[in-house]
Amino acid sequence: MNSRRDFLQKITGSAFGLSLLSTSSNGNILFEEGYQEPVLRVAIMGLGSYGTRVAEAMKDCKRAKLVGVISGTPSKVKDWQTKYSIPAKNCYNYENFDTIKNNPDIDAVYIITPNGLHREQCIRVAKAGKHVICEKPMAINAAEGQEMVDACKKANVKLLVGYRMHLEPKTLEIIQMRNEGAFGKILFFQGLCGFRIGDPNQWRLNKQLAGGGAMMDIGIYAVNGARYMVGEEPSYVTAQETKTDFAKFKEGVDETIQFQFGFPGGAVASCLSTYSMNNLDRFFLNGEKGFAEMQPSTGYGPIQGRTNKGELNHPHVTHQTVQMDEMAGMILNNKNPLVPMDGEEGLKDLKIIDAIYLAIKTGKKVDLKM
């Protein structure tokens, strides 16, 4: 138990304390004062609500600094310049951001735009020689995801995906307990993810921009969670779709999907993704010797968790602060997280989501080759 807690304290330690950064006017890597740790200089692409959440969280980062913005809305760029002290030379729009290749003061671009735009934007950032951080889902299907992975490899830049839960302390403790055999043979996982969506005109209900519906937005948490909670890749999937509001959820935009996985070790999973029900943010893992339950399991926090051995009591730290500090280590120091956060990880989720949609279309079990 002590080794596990030491591990968790180490992996989340970079989230505490305010960042004291040295300045750079000549394009050199910034360093944190006192520690001489290199600082990742990030431009955020997409200045919506989640982009704002990330920017606010980065105020407390020690190893990542917001230095640039990319947006199609001039008024937002102006507001962010003032609020976050961003120089004009680090501000771009969607037409000219390829010229970021000539800006030595930016190391990475965090893409926080609608899913259907990720592929093109990622490839352009990679060609500009900058590391890519992309929100999940990484793309709208596995074919596009593979193009992104290939483009980043060709450009010799890193591709990371915003899997913030891979760094959440209570989640990591459960994974460590499972790895240590505390739950015995894993038998079952349940992942419930959903909420009642509002504005029918938002991009999340536009198939071209979102790539689907609830599955591409909230369902990916259950897909990814099943994999890291069970600790195996699923070998097959079955799925069923339910739609009650055909006006809001048009062709190709899913409202509710139930899906099931089978795993090589014998475990099974039952999951739900929906845009029509609230109070659904729960993970449950069951093994021969014990269980783990999280509710809420993937929200912005605080996460609540317990196992058959008792409550999990890690202090809450803003997920995006931890994520950006840890991603700085992954990019600048080749640090490897306990649960991968790279493009290959994102690609696996896309392959599974493709298979879920195929299972719905055919009504048959779909075998997975990961």
* Chain centre to alpha carbon of residue 16: 21
The CA distances from residue 302 to 170, 220, 233, 365, in Å, are 10, 20, 28, 37
Q: Which two tokens stand for residue 368?
A: 């997975």
**CA proximity to 225, closest of 136, 149, 310:** 136
CA distance 370 to 368: 6
CA distance 356 to 215: 9
Q: Check 62, 65, 136, 248 and give the catalytic one.
A: 136
Q: Check 92, 163, 221, 275 and give the catalytic one.
A: 221
Q: Are 310 and 290 in contact (CB under 8 A)?
A: no
Q: Taking phi first (over 0 means left), then psi (-120 to 50 degrees means alpha), and beta for anything else, what does residue 99 get?
A: alpha
CA distance 152 to 128: 10
Residues sharing a CB contact under 8 Å with residue 195, sequence separation 6 or more, in sequence order: 218, 274, 275, 277, 278, 280
Question: Phi and psi for 36 in degrees, rounded to 5?
Answer: 55, 40
Catalytic-residue membership of 154 = no
Catalytic-residue membership of 243 = no
Would you name the residues annotated as active-site residues? 136, 221
